[in-house]
Amino acid sequence: MSTLPAFDHPRSARRWPTLAALTATVMLAAGLWASGSAAASGSSAAASAVAPTTSCSALASLDLLTLEGAQTSITSASAVAASANPAGSWAACEVQGIIAPETHFTLYLPTTTYAGEYLQEGCGGGCGSINTGYPTAAAGCTQATDGDFAVAADDEGHEGGGFSVMAFQDPELKAVFGYESEHQLALVSKAIIKGFYGSAPAQSYFDGCSDGGREALTEAQRYPTDFNGIIAGSPASIQSELNAFEEAWNAQANTGANGTPILTSADLAPLHTAVLQACGGASAVSLGYLADPLACTWNPASIACKPGQTSTSSDFCLTAAQVETVDKLYAGPTDAQGERLYPGYEVRGSELNWAGWIVPSGNAESGAIDANIATTAWQDWITPTGTFDGAANYMDVQFTKANFEKVTKENDGELDATDPNLSAFEKAGGKLILWAGYADPAINPVGTISYYQAVTKAMGGLAATERFAKLYLLPGVAHCGGGQGPNKFDALTAITAWVTEGTAPTSLLATSTDSSGTVTASLPIYSYPDIAVDTTGGPATSAASYTPQVSRAEQNLNISWLGSFGSGYEQVSGWVDGQWVTRPANLGSGQN
């Protein structure tokens, strides 16, 4: 077998401010790069603060133009007071820069509290901005609030939010968004951390939700040694199929002949109540969510309007068109033969959270988020030539096997993160916490469950998988938080304890709070396939009332679709002799 030529390095810098200005940077004194032993354990209680070995301003002259795979220019380095730090209430050195070709990043380096750990935060949506705010899935994490971590984030290679501005017709930027940006940022941040403190971080963590969850899984699959611990929330890991088919299906399902929504925002509360009453009784109605939603098989035809009946607030019913819409949302996208184009569907009990995503606030379905994402996806990035098969907007999308194959062939290799073989990540000692809200309308949890099931199959069963990777499903929780169930929880402390102490989390504690921050409800979240069941007769709002029981509905979920969760689909792209080349990633050989 012939050897493929290596990609050219460094990567293109054609979008940098001025190349002359960049090459004028100089290497810091050799002492800046002096090697040293790694910091002590990342535990806040055990670790003393690691002091910087150079000034913050000196980092502005740090030369990273020759950093392999992540050619970088530092544009600024300045001290930030604790009161002005978006990453937390701790004093920091704020470093900003650009990774070729045009990924902007910000890194916050604690000046008095650093405990030898690095935290990288993921993006959301189509990214285009830098989010270094308080991390997701970290409510009450003292390591985050106390400034133990150096914290960084980037914009995934482009500025400006929304899918319509993503330059996917530029193959280089598509690769950056698809799989490169977070790996490059990890390389850059660790180099700067070493330059500032004299040694690389002892442990590194990644925390992201939505697109950030996709980034998280991309790291575990493609770059298994970048992070010791990874938190992947509601991952948009089945990216191509999600944007091309799932969201277009939802929007089409709720569009009437004149473009108005079939279900309106006024319908969602009584619809939600009907589902809760049918599948969970008065207890579920009181709590506002279903404890085991996959076990619910409620049929919307059961509340169809009778002949001559008009729906009112006191006598709610669904029109025939509304019954059809709800049925379609619960079913998920299929072709004419009934083959699934996406391994998921809207889960019963999520209806209130359809507002905004599937059901617009106004009188035009085109105003819903799903409609917007689907339209811009088909117009701007599904294929490199733009509008595809006449799909000028979401209503033109055809749910066919032929379209599925075209979309996946064009995009899966760089955008999706669905490889279930995590053996390299496990071998490196990595730990993974996957989580999803059971009432998430944007990235329904069924796809995440299906992926995790594939991981357990690839990794030797559930028990073997749980040694390094666990899935947690939060009842009543919407997209990356919010919703009707307890939605504040701390996976970050759990993952750091798992990495540094070898203590796997048996459960996560989720809470609800009122406007003053007082806890009003708590619930233990057990790892798949266990759910929390009130077996004591105690208060339904107290975690102490619950014990774990296997959800047969979760355990027996079996989604068949046109795609698959397998290895070997990944692609990698780069310049070879002035030509942009895409080829198999060969992850097993270390080429990623």
Residue 85 contacts residue 25 (beta carbons within 8 Å): no
What pLDDT digit, counting tens, does each position of 167-210 carry? 567 888 889 999 999 999 999 999 999 999 999 999 999 999 99
Q: Domain end: 365, 395, 415, which one?
A: 415
Q: Are residues 170 and 262 in the same domain?
A: no
What pLDDT digit, counting tens, does each position of 213-236 carry? 999 999 999 999 999 999 999 999
**What DSSP element (H or E) covers 117?**
strand 117-121
pLDDT score, position 370: 96
Q: Examine residue 92 and state whether it is found in any structural domain, yes or no.
A: yes
pLDDT exceeds cutoff 50 at 18? no
pLDDT exceeds cutoff 90 at 75? yes
Q: Are residues 258 and 132 in the same domain?
A: no
For residues 556-570, average pLDDT: 95
Q: Which residues pair with 296 in a beta bridge?
A: none
Q: Are residues 89 and 191 in the same domain?
A: yes
Q: Examine residue 229 and state whether it is found in any structural domain, yes or no.
A: no
Q: Are residues 191 and 252 in the same domain?
A: no
Q: Are residues 246 and 353 in the same domain?
A: yes
Q: Percentage of residues in the chain with pLDDT exceeding 70?
A: 88
Residue ranges in 418-460 assigned as alpha helix (H): 423-427, 445-458
* pTM metric for this prediction: 0.92
Q: State how far the Cα of 326 lies from the Cα of 345, in Å rounded to an integer.
A: 11
Q: Examine residue 224 and state whether it is found in any structural domain, yes or no.
A: no
pLDDT exceeds cutoff 70 at 392? yes
pLDDT score, position 219: 98
Q: What is the average pLDDT score of the chain?
A: 89
Q: Examine residue 215 and state whether it is found in any structural domain, yes or no.
A: no
Q: State how far the Cα of 191 lies from the Cα of 200, in Å rounded to an integer.
A: 7
pLDDT score, position 376: 85
Q: Are residues 184 and 105 in the same domain?
A: yes
pLDDT exceeds cutoff 70 at 385? no
Among the ranges given (42-46, 104-108, 195-199, 546-550), the one the predictor scored with the smallest mean pLDDT: 42-46
Q: Examine residue 118 and state whether it is found in any structural domain, yes or no.
A: yes
pLDDT exceeds cutoff 90 at 242? yes
For residues 61-87, average pLDDT: 95
Token reading at 520: 């009003």
Q: Examine residue 82 and state whether it is found in any structural domain, yes or no.
A: yes
pLDDT exceeds cutoff 80 at 161? no
Q: State how far the Cα of 42 lies from the Cα of 477, in Å rounded to an integer.
A: 30
For residues 478-504, average pLDDT: 97
More confident residue, 382 or 438: 438
Q: Examine residue 84 and state whether it is found in any structural domain, yes or no.
A: yes
pLDDT score, position 126: 82
Q: Are residues 188 and 268 in the same domain?
A: no
pLDDT score, position 162: 60
pLDDT score, position 280: 97
Which of 12-16, 32-36, 120-124, 472-476 has the highest average model confidence (pLDDT)? 472-476
Given its phi and psi angles, is residue 528 left (phi above 0), alpha (psi -120 to 50 degrees) or beta? beta
Structural domain count of the chain:
2
Q: Which residues pair with 576 in a beta bridge?
A: 579
pLDDT score, position 421: 98
- Please report which confidence band the pLDDT of residue 8 belongs to, taking 50, 70 and 90 as the band edges: low
pLDDT score, position 450: 98
Residue at 103: amino acid letter: T
Peptide bond into 529 cis (omega under 30): yes
pLDDT exceeds cutoff 80 at 533? yes
453: CB partners within 8 A, 6+ apart: 557
Q: Examine residue 584 and state whether it is found in any structural domain, yes or no.
A: no
Q: Are residues 253 and 331 in the same domain?
A: yes
Closest CA to 489 of 13, 201, 194, 136: 136
Q: Are residues 196 and 246 in the same domain?
A: no
Residue 525 contacts residue 488 (beta carbons within 8 Å): no
pLDDT score, position 384: 57
- Please report which confidence band the pLDDT of residue 24 belongs to, taking 50, 70 and 90 as the band edges: very low
pLDDT exceeds cutoff 70 at 523? yes
pLDDT score, position 167: 54
pLDDT score, position 171: 85
- Please report which confidence band the pLDDT of residue 7 belongs to, taking 50, 70 and 90 as the band edges: low
Among the ranges given (35-39, 44-48, 102-106, 385-389), the one the predictor scored with the smallest mean pLDDT: 35-39
Q: Domain end: 391, 415, 439, which one?
A: 415
pLDDT exceeds cutoff 80 at 387? no
Q: Are residues 393 and 297 in the same domain?
A: yes
pLDDT score, position 248: 97
Q: Are residues 175 and 274 in the same domain?
A: no
Q: How far, in whole angstroms, is CA 364 from its chain's centroid?
A: 29
Find the domain containing 92 and state its range.
1-201
Q: Are residues 136 and 185 in the same domain?
A: yes
Residue at 201: amino acid letter: P
